Structure 1
Amino acid sequence: MDTTQLLKGVLDLAVLAVLREEDGYGYDILRRLRTAGLEEVGDASVYGTLRRLFQNGLLTTYVVPSEEGPHRKYYALNAAGRTQLAQSGKVWRSFASTMDNLLDEPGVAA
Structure 2
Amino acid sequence: MSKQMTEMLKGVLEGIVLAILSGRSAYGYEITAWLREQGFSDIAEGTVYALLIRIEQRGFVDVAKVPSEKGPPRKVYSLNAQGRRHLDEFWKTWSFLSERLEQLHKGGT
Query: How big is the shift at 1:97?
Result: 1.4
Q: TM-score, normalised by structure 2?
A: 0.90
The runs of at least 4 aligned residues of structure 1 exceeding 6 Å deviation read none
User: For residue 6 of structure 1, what is the aligned residue in structure 2?
Assistant: 8
Structure 2: how far apart are the matches of 1:36 and 1:83?
A: 25
Which position in structure 1 is the counterpart of 2:85?
A: 83
Q: CA deviation at 1:13?
A: 0.3
Q: What is the 5 A alignment of 1:68-79?
A: 68-79=70-81
1:7-22 aligned within 5 A: 7-22=9-24
Partner Cα distance (1:39, 1:91) in 2: 26
Match of 1:101 in 2: 103
Query: Aligned Cα RMSD in Å?
Result: 1.4
User: 1:66 maps to which residue?
Assistant: 68
Question: How far apart, CA to CA, are the structure 2 residues paired with 1:37 and 1:86?
Answer: 24
Structure 1 stretch 34-43 or stretch 18-27: which is displaced more? 34-43
Number of aligned residue pairs: give it: 106
Q: TM-score, normalised by structure 1?
A: 0.89
User: Percent of counterpart pairs with the same letter?
Assistant: 39
Structure 1 position 25, deviation (Å): 0.5
Letter of the 1:8 partner, please give it: K
The aligned residue for residue 47 of structure 2 is 45
> Where in structure 2 are there 5+ consecutive unaligned residues?
none
In structure 1, stretches of 5+ residues that fail to align are none
